[in-house]
Amino acid sequence: MSELNAIAAKLPNNLTIDTVVVAAGVGKRFGSQMPKQYTHIGGQTVLQHSIAALSKVHQLSTCYLVISEEDAIAKTLNFSMPIEWVIGGKERMNSVFNAVQAIWQQYQNPLCDKTFNDHAFNDKTFSDKASHHAYDNHWVLIHDAARPCVNPSDIEKLITQTTQQFLQQSHQQSQKEHGQELAGGLLAVPVRDTVKQIIHAQDQVLSQKTLDRSQLWLAQTPQLFPLATLYDYLTQAIEQTIAFTDEASLFEHFGKQPLLVEGSHSNIKLTFPEDLQFAQVYLAKP
């Protein structure tokens, strides 16, 4: 049995995972004329490579692809997964919020229009309309378009460890009876280099102290969270205009502790032009 199949065999049979890929950014630091997700590597765009990696995980069937309203490229491309189109927001969190709204709306009305924006719904009574308990097996996996080197086996491991943690909690505790808000999980890697905390002095950057790297991990995507709680927390954050850089920090704000699942250092986010060279070599491997 392959590594992927061995891991998948441990998953609950009734698990539903909707996939969100965030591709609405412009990638200013990448120094390119076009958004970095449309840079070509080996005949395909970075975005296509990212979705191709997700398509190798059999628990993921449909991708909610978040693009900017001005995007004229995405819909001209072929993808290895069925695509539901979502219009992004001003910031990453707004884009994820739009996608999660779209997913939630599909469960309420499967025949509704499948293109969404910031004001597509006015569902402010989410917590009153459905119990979290009814959606325990519904999860959302969020991935950045600019991480084309993610390993499918790491995604499988994330799904297995995160959902199994929930199953163990549900058997050991009675919290679920009242709609326990689950913590979810994310891929991450331990920091390998010495880390300095800096101080600015007279236009210079000085090392103030060395941090204990054994306590530091680098967050990656995908990140996996239960649909009901994710929607609830995103709704509150949007209403309160509180910004978060990733979904894990959103859950941390609400007192949760997401599970860190060790991934691979090769799962880099393309941020600077030199990152492209690594991705080209990695993706060229058989």
Average of pLDDT values for 140-152?
97
Query: pLDDT tens-digit profile of 65-119?
Result: 999 999 999 999 999 999 999 999 999 999 999 999 999 988 876 555 444 454 4
CA 181, CA 89: separation in Å to the nearest integer?
26
User: What confidence category does residue 179 fall into, taking pLDDT thresholds of 50, 70 and 90?
Assistant: very low
CB 14 within 8 A of CB 163: no
User: What confidence category does residue 56 fall into, taking pLDDT thresholds of 50, 70 and 90?
Assistant: very high
Query: Is the predicted pLDDT of residue 45 greater than 70, yes or no?
Result: yes
Please give the mean pLDDT across all residues of the chain.
Answer: 85
CB 143 within 8 A of CB 20: yes
| Distances in whole angstroms, Cα of residue 164 to Cα of each of 1, 15, 159 | 20, 11, 8
Q: What is the pLDDT of residue 164?
A: 87
Model confidence, pTM: 0.85
Q: What is the pLDDT of residue 134?
A: 56
Lowest mean pLDDT among 19-33, 164-178, 248-262: 164-178
Query: pLDDT tens-digit profile of 124-142?
Result: 444 444 455 556 689 999 9
Q: How far apart are the first and last CA of the chain?
A: 20
In DSSP terms, which residues pair with 19 in a beta bridge? Answer: 63, 141
Q: What is the pLDDT of residue 26?
A: 65
Q: What is the pLDDT of residue 5?
A: 52
Closest CA to 55 of 63, 44, 47: 63
Phi and psi at 153, nearest 5°, equal -65, -30
Q: What is the pLDDT of residue 121?
A: 42
Q: What is the pLDDT of residue 10?
A: 54
pLDDT higher at 102 or 10:
102
Query: Is the predicted pLDDT of residue 145 greater than 90, yes or no?
Result: yes
CA 174, CA 157: separation in Å to the nearest integer?
26
Query: pLDDT tens-digit profile of 248-274?
Result: 999 999 999 999 999 999 999 999 889
